[in-house]
């Protein structure tokens, strides 16, 4: 099964939305295979947001991610990256469609509830950045046959 990274940002933690957001992924049928609360360092944020390093808002983004601890999660499922990205909605909460996480909980470009990996390759790099190998668990939930047809999840 494909795995992807989700970070519940400080705005989510501060607003008490952790359970609601996790619940949405669980209800959709994604499988939580890793989760922890961490206080992100400037070093890890500089690495994670390196693609924004030349932008004028780079430091502001890093500062916002250090307001309080975050929740980092690894979700698994068939096409997990695309499923999570679709559920998340566009980056700007004001433009996100109702029914998406950002569309339902955000009115900000920065305080937009969640980070989600944007590609399978990115997810692999990001998961290694935030998790040790023994912090992600491979197991077959008993409910798997209620989520997928057998030919959708072969090889698990």
Is 48 assigned a catalytic role? no
Q: Is the pLDDT of residue 66 over 70?
A: yes
Instruction: Give which of 30, 34, 31 is closest to 128, Cα–Cα.
Output: 34
Q: Name the pTM for this structure.
A: 0.94
Q: What are the residue ranges spanned by the domains of the chain?
A: 2-145
Among 10, 114, 115, 131, the active-site one is 115
Residues 82-94 have a mean pLDDT of 97
The predicted-structure confidence for 8-19, as pLDDT tens digits, reads as follows: 999 999 999 999
- Quick one: pLDDT at residue 154? 62
The β-bridge partners of 38 are 70
Q: How confident is the model at residue 23 (pLDDT cuts 50, 70, 90)?
A: very high
Fold exhibited by the domain 2-145: Alpha-Beta Plaits (3.30.70)
The predicted-structure confidence for 95-135, as pLDDT tens digits, reads as follows: 999 999 999 999 999 999 999 999 999 999 999 999 999 99
Q: Is the pLDDT of residue 155 over 80?
A: no
């Amino acid at each position: 099964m494909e795995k992807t990274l989700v970070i519940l940002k400080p705005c989510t933690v501060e607003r008490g939305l952790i359970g609601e957001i996790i619940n949405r992924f669980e209800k959709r049928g994604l499988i939580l295979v890793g989760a922890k609360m961490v206080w992100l360092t400037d070093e890890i944020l500089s690495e994670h947001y390196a693609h924004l390093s030349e932008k004028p808002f780079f430091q502001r983004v890093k500062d916002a991610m250090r307001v309080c601890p975050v929740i980092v999660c690894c979700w698994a499922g068939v096409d997990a990256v695309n499923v999570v990205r679709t559920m998340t909605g566009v980056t700007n909460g004001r433009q996100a469609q109702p029914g998406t996480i950002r569309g339902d909980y955000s009115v900000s470009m920065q305080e937009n509830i969640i980070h989600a990996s944007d590609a399978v390759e990115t997810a692999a790099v990001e998961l290694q950045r935030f998790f040790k190998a023994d912090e992600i668990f491979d197991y077959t939930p008993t409910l798997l046959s209620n989520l997928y047809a057998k030919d959708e999840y072969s090889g698990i």
